């Protein structure tokens, strides 16, 4: 199938079920946002290096994917205030500093943010209840 373009299904949003080309997003990054995204990525990378954390460790601790961290640091992805808050918490940094660096390139919060937060909290409670509170003797 050389020369053909594979289409994927959009997962959510207003055009739910509509097809889109791989690698496209609802709102592409524009040139005026790049300096903000690059500044955010550089600062995040510096904070991560100062904390002596790998991308994998940061991602696991903040409950994000490694590719999300990589794309934020590489200035190829917008991010939300809540995501920056989780990253800042792990890096012991000021979340507002990261939000300010993102400037107009900050992504809007999801319409489903509360539902996602409840699901994440439930998952955390389940993990804690499954792990032994004290080692077996």
pLDDT on residue 24: 53
Segment 43-87, tens digit of pLDDT = 999 999 999 999 999 999 998 999 999 999 999 999 999 999 999
Confidence of residue 125 (pLDDT cuts 50, 70, 90): confident
pLDDT on residue 132: 66
- Which tokens hold the place of 14? 């207003």
Confidence of residue 14 (pLDDT cuts 50, 70, 90): very low
Whether 16 shows a pLDDT value over 50: the answer reads: no
pLDDT on residue 5: 42
Domain boundaries, given as residue ranges, for the chain: 28-130
pLDDT on residue 25: 55
Whether 28 shows a pLDDT value over 60: the answer reads: yes
- CB-CB contact of 9 with 17 (8 Å): yes
Give pTM, 2 decimals. 0.68
Segment 82-117, tens digit of pLDDT = 999 999 999 999 999 999 999 999 988 888 888 888
In angstroms, how far is CA 44 from the centroid of its own chain?
12
**Which superfamily is assigned to 28-130 in CATH?**
lambda repressor-like DNA-binding domains (1.10.260.40)
């Amino acid at each position: 199938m050389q020369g053909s373009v594979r289409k994927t299904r959009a997962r959510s949003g207003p055009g739910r079920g509509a097809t889109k080309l791989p690698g496209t997003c609802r709102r592409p990054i524009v040139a005026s946002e790049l300096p903000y995204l690059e500044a955010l990525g550089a600062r995040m990378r510096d904070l991560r290096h100062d904390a002596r954390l790998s991308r994998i460790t940061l991602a696991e601790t903040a409950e994000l994917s490694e590719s999300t961290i990589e794309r934020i640091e590489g200035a190829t992805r917008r991010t939300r205030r809540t995501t920056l808050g989780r990253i800042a918490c792990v890096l012991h940094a000021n979340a507002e500093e990261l939000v300010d660096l993102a400037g107009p390139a900050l992504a809007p919060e999801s319409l489903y943010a509360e539902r996602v937060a409840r699901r994440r909290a439930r998952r955390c409670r389940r993990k804690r209840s499954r792990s032994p509170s004290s080692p077996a003797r």
